[in-house]
Amino acid sequence: MNFEFSEDQKMIKETARSYLADKCTSADVRRILDGDESFHPELWAGVAEMGWLGTAIPEEYDGLGLGYLELCVIAEELGRAVAPIPFSSTVYLFAEAILAAGTEEQKKKYLPKVAAGELIGCLAMSEGAGAVTPKTINASVSGGTISGTKVPVVDGDVADHAIVVAKTGSGNDEGSMSLFVVDLKGEGVTVESVKTVDPTRGHATITLNNAPAEALGDTGEGWAIVDRIFDRAAVLFSFEQMGGSQAALDMAKDYAMDRYAFGRPIASFQAIKHKLADMYVATELARSNCYYGAWALSTDAPELPVAAATARVSASESYAHTSKENIQTHGGMGFTWEFDCHLHYRRSKVLGLTIGSLPRWKDRLIDRLEARNVA
């Protein structure tokens, strides 16, 4: 049994960690948090130069053609560093959708640009509050153009292209949903930044008014494609969340060791020690579940739907827990803008909602377990 990353993969991870420790410091994240930019362009260019954007993109489309285990370890480090770049939108969602459903021509058109860092992509799906289902999709296509309003679109205010979920049939069922690639710099597109719980990532309202739309995948297959992409993306998002969870635990631990109260380090109090132990347990379970998800993703295993949902639920819960308890461990200082606790608190929420919230993934997990038991 070899349920562990290879030496080469571990080296990629180490390289990613030291690169980000240098190029994605707290000051870099705060530059985006406090300033007017919606992402960190120098970091994005650096990440492109490192080849990370093309990690899992085949060599024929100018990627590195390494694979998903390599992408997973990079994701973990991006999560740890709370990287303020549109990596997940571009790589886990946009590129994956092109790979999964694009024609040869579309792959040649888009993937080399993604790999080179010349194209930022995003997925435009949500239109309002509540679970995103076919019933909530009003954006529609007629005569090769698309009209409708998408909000929020993660990284939408910095993206060049969006994959848009829109109605092509008359009904509001899954079979009436299709995917389209829209050039956000083209005509009929209005992009407006929106305020979110995590300003270290850009978000937008995208209004489409007869914007030219390029079909991605077969008509009526849009919902099924997104479903498949979400399973794959869920594993990658989970690695970011698990990396963030580990970082929040490390931060809480370091603070508790240094902070003295009542004449002793607060880490020597069981109330704090047991809190940190629980954060460790949640993070380790998430890590193990992420590894299983990585195995399923990298081998296209039939277990992927269950493994992905398991990793997603586990890592969402773990990061929510550790980022919250990290603030608590810091006491009042944890509530200040000055301390970095809120960077994790914000990011854990955004990662936990993008591609669907925790209740939705729990429901999905049980669906898959039921289907598996029936089979």
Q: Single out the residue of 11, 131, 333, 366 in contact with another protein (rule: CB under 8 A).
A: 366
Residue whose tokens read 């049980």: 366
Q: Does 212 bind another protein (CB under 8 A)?
A: no
CB of 133 to another protein, least distance (A): 16
Nearest to 75 by CA among 230, 311, 239, 309: 239
Q: Does 109 bind another protein (CB under 8 A)?
A: no
- What span, in angstroms and rounded, lies between the C-alpha atoms of 343 and 346? 5
| Nearer of residues 21 and 281 to another protein, judged by Cβ | 281
| Nearer of residues 4 and 36 to another protein, judged by Cβ | 4
Q: Does 105 bind another protein (CB under 8 A)?
A: no
- What span, in angstroms and rounded, lies between the C-alpha atoms of 208 and 210? 6
Q: Is the dihedral of CA 51, 31, 276, 233 positive or negative?
A: negative
| Nearer of residues 84 and 293 to another protein, judged by Cβ | 293
Q: Single out the residue of 24, 56, 64, 69 in contact with another protein (rule: CB under 8 A).
A: 69
Q: Single out the residue of 36, 270, 332, 337 in contact with another protein (rule: CB under 8 A).
A: 270
Window of 143-151, 152-160, 330-338, 366-374 that interacts with another protein by CB under 8 A: 366-374
Q: Does 362 bind another protein (CB under 8 A)?
A: yes
CB of 363 to another protein, least distance (A): 6
Q: Does 60 bind another protein (CB under 8 A)?
A: no
Q: Does 66 bind another protein (CB under 8 A)?
A: no
Distance spanning both ends of the chain, measured CA to CA: 27
Q: Single out the residue of 220, 285, 339, 357 in contact with another protein (rule: CB under 8 A).
A: 285
Q: Does 235 bind another protein (CB under 8 A)?
A: no
Residue whose tokens read 């290879």: 6
Please report, for residues 76, 246, 254, 261, the alpha-carbon distance to residue 20 in angstroms, rounded to integers and kept in the order given.
11, 15, 20, 33
Binders of another protein in range 297-326 (CB under 8 A): 298-299, 310, 313-314, 317
| Nearer of residues 80 and 167 to another protein, judged by Cβ | 80
Q: How many CB atoms lie within 10 A of CB 46?
A: 18
Q: Single out the residue of 23, 31, 228, 253 in contact with another protein (rule: CB under 8 A).
A: 253
Work out the angle between the directed axes of helices 270-299 and 304-330 (0-180°, nearest 10). Answer: 160
- What span, in angstroms and rounded, lies between the C-alpha atoms of 165 and 229? 13
Q: Does 284 bind another protein (CB under 8 A)?
A: yes
Please report, for residues 29, 76, 239, 256, 257, the alpha-carbon distance to residue 21 in angstroms, rounded to integers and kept in the order given.
12, 13, 18, 22, 22
Give the H or E element holding residue 251: helix 222-258
Contact 139, 146 (CB under 8 A): yes
Q: Single out the residue of 163, 225, 286, 341 in contact with another protein (rule: CB under 8 A).
A: 286
Q: Single out the residue of 26, 273, 300, 336 in contact with another protein (rule: CB under 8 A).
A: 273
Q: Does 239 bind another protein (CB under 8 A)?
A: no
Q: How many CB atoms lie within 10 A of CB 192?
A: 11
Any bridge partners for residue 230, and if so which?
none
Any bridge partners for residue 191, and if so which?
206
| Nearer of residues 7 and 338 to another protein, judged by Cβ | 7
| Nearer of residues 229 and 309 to another protein, judged by Cβ | 309
Tokens found for residue 286: 């998430």
- What span, in angstroms and rounded, lies between the C-alpha atoms of 85 and 47? 9
Q: Return residues touching another protein (CB under 8 A).
A: 1-5, 69, 253, 256-257, 264-265, 267-270, 273-274, 276-278, 280-281, 284-289, 291-292, 294-295, 298-299, 310, 313-314, 317, 359, 362-363, 365-366, 369-370, 373
